[in-house]
Amino acid sequence: MIKITPLYAFSDNYIWALLNENNKQLIVVDPGQSEPVESFINEHNLELTAIWITHKHADHTGGVKKLREMYPLVNVMADERHGVKADYTVKEGSSFRSWGCNIDVLKVAGHTQDHLAYVLNIGENKHVFCGDTLFSGGCGRVFTGDMQAMYNSLLKLNSFEADTLFYPAHEYTASNLKFGLFIEPNNAAMQQWLEKVNQLALDKTPSLPTTLEIERLINIFLRVNEPAVVESVSQKCDLIDKAPLTVFTALRKLKDDF
C-alpha cells in the first residue's frame, strides 16, 4: 500500500512523501530542504529510494545534495536542466515503474521552461505531482513570459479524469481563492471552499491534495471560458479580444499584482 504524505518545508512548501508501507521504502518529490525528509525517515525507519524533481528552483531542489550524501543509494529523477545530478534523466514522454506502478512524465512548461509533472498510476487512480504549474485555486507565476506555454500546460492537466488527484508544492489555496472571488464574487463553490480552507488552516491541516472536479469549480485559471469570468476580466482590463488565452494572460497579470 502506498501512502502519500505532505512534509512541511520553509513557510508554505510541501515535499510530497510516497511511502510504501509494505517494504518501508520512500520516494520524495521536490525536497527543497533535507531536514523534513531526514526526520520522516528516522521517525518511521524508512529507506529513501528515489527523488523526483519537477523544476529547477531552489525551494524544490535545495535538499537533494545533502540527501544524496546521507543516502548514497537514492536515485534522482530530473530533467538535465534542473540543476541537480540526475541518475535518470526524464522528459516529456518518459515513463518508468516503481513498486509495480507506472509513472508517466509530462512537460508542463510556463513557470519554468523545463517544468515536469509526474503522473503516478495506482490501479485506476491517477496522482499528479505538478510542482508549481497548477495550484489549488490557481497556477504558478509565468517566469518564462510564455503565457501560451502555461495555458497549454493547464489544458493538458485539465484533460485528466475528474477524480484525478493533484499534489501541488505550495499551500496557496486561501490566497488563490481570495483572488478568484475578486474576479468571480458570486461563485458559491469558491465561497464555500474558502471557508473550508480557512478552517483547515486553523486546524493546521493541508488543503491538498485536490481533485480536478473541485478545481474546475474553484480555479479561476481553469474557468477562462466562463461568461462571468470573461465579463469580469474585460471590465478590469483592456482586452484585445475575448479568446481564452487573452483572458488567461490578463488574469495572470492581475494575480501578479493582487
- Which amino acid, residue 227? P
Report pLDDT for 252: 98
What is d(CA 52, CA 94) in angstroms, rounded to the nearest whole number?
13
Q: Could you tell me the CATH superfamily of domain 1-89?
A: Ribonuclease Z/Hydroxyacylglutathione hydrolase-like (3.60.15.10)
Please state whether 99 falls in left (phi above 0), alpha (psi between -120 and 50) or beta.
Answer: left
Task: Tell me the C-alpha distance between 138 and 246, whole Å.
Answer: 17
Give Cα 258 to chain centroid, integer Å: 21
C-alpha span between 64 and 123 (Å, rounded): 30
As given in the structure block, the three cell numbers for residue 193 are 471552499
Q: For every one of its 258 residues, what pLDDT tens digit does the chain have, with 9 covering 90 and above? A: 999 999 999 999 999 999 999 999 999 999 999 999 999 999 999 999 999 999 999 999 999 999 999 999 999 999 999 999 999 999 999 999 999 999 999 999 999 999 999 999 998 999 999 999 999 999 999 999 999 999 999 999 999 999 999 999 999 999 999 999 999 999 999 999 999 999 999 999 999 999 999 999 999 999 999 999 999 999 999 999 999 999 999 999 999 999
Reading the block at residue 154, the C-alpha cell is 493547464
pTM higher than 0.95, yes or no?
Answer: yes
CB atoms under 10 Å from CB of 82, counted, come to 24
Q: Is the dihedral of CA 181, 185, 190, 194 positive or negative?
A: positive
Question: Other CB atoms closer than 10 Å to residue 14's CB: what's the count?
Answer: 24
Q: What is the pLDDT of residue 30?
A: 98
Cell numbers found for residue 163: 477524480
Please state the φ and ψ torsions of residue 125, each to the nearest 5 degrees.
Answer: -100, 140
pLDDT of 18 reads 98
Q: Which residues pair with 5 in a beta bridge?
A: 17
Q: Say how far apart CA 79 and CA 124 lie, in whole Å.
A: 27
Measured from the Cβ of residue 255, the count of other Cβ atoms closer than 10 Å reads 19
